[in-house]
Amino acid sequence: MKRNIVIAAVTAAALITGGTATALAVSGDDGGTARQGETRVSEDDAVRGGDARDDDRDDERAVSSKVTAADAIAAALRHTPGTAVSAELEDADDADDDGGKAAWDVDVLSGGGTWHSVRVDPATGKVLGSHADDDGDDGTAEVRAALKGTSVDAAEAARAAAVHGTVTSVDLDDDDRRSAAWDVETRSGGKAERDWTVDPGTGKVTADRSDDGDDSADDDNDGDDD
């Protein structure tokens, strides 16, 4: 009697550990021969696949937001008067408040020196909630000094950079510079996230060269691995 027996090894563990999955097939008559083949799953391929999925989720998050960064900042300031210092579009996985809902998180420095975190619905522009951050000075003096004499605020910086894609974050950067600047991140369908620098005095937008350098370094590292 001719018998056919196929035994398949599960490959899920190999995807997680970067190990080897083995499939063993036995075929033929009673005295049949065994053939064994190995399927190796690259750990790097699995990591790259995860990065691609993260990029896809970021694209979906940016596209699905009907409320722009500038709109979110305006809504936050109507709710909590002061100076907007940063705004970031957080997805549901990053959100700790509001039951894990995606939201714009806007940091506002009030006239009295208190920091407030205001969350804005990216679909409706409604303020979902806010809370005061009572962490002492927390760089307040440095931020005020950096903003002194500037004519471009966070919302205007976001609008200026929006010509390059959908803005997902804007933040005042006063570190390691001769003068402060607005750092803006954008996403454009099918393209990687880009960083831009917006001059707080003129509103001029330039590509963040440090970001380009990091990308080049990553590319070089990928090449070394090949």
pLDDT for 195-210, tens place per residue?
A: 999 999 999 999 987 6
The least confident of 96-110, 161-175, 185-199 is 96-110
Q: Is the dihedral of CA 179, 185, 188, 194 positive or negative?
A: positive
Tell me the three-class secondary structure of 80-97, residue by residue: CCCEEEEEEEECCCCCCC
Residue 100 has pLDDT above 60, yes or no: yes
Residue 86 contacts residue 172 (beta carbons within 8 Å): yes
Instruction: Name the residue with higher pLDDT: 217 or 146.
Output: 146
Q: Is the pTM of this model over 0.75?
A: no
pLDDT class of 136 with cuts at 50, 70, 90: low
Structure tokens at 13: 């563990």
Residue 95 has pLDDT above 80, yes or no: no
Determine the Cα–Cα distance for residues 124 and 52; give it in Å rounded to an integer. 29
Determine the Cα–Cα distance for residues 71 and 154; give it in Å rounded to an integer. 11
Helix %, strand %, coil % of the chain (to 5)? 35, 30, 35
Determine the Cα–Cα distance for residues 27 and 106; give it in Å rounded to an integer. 65
pLDDT digits (tens, 9 = 90+) for 5-16: 333 333 343 433
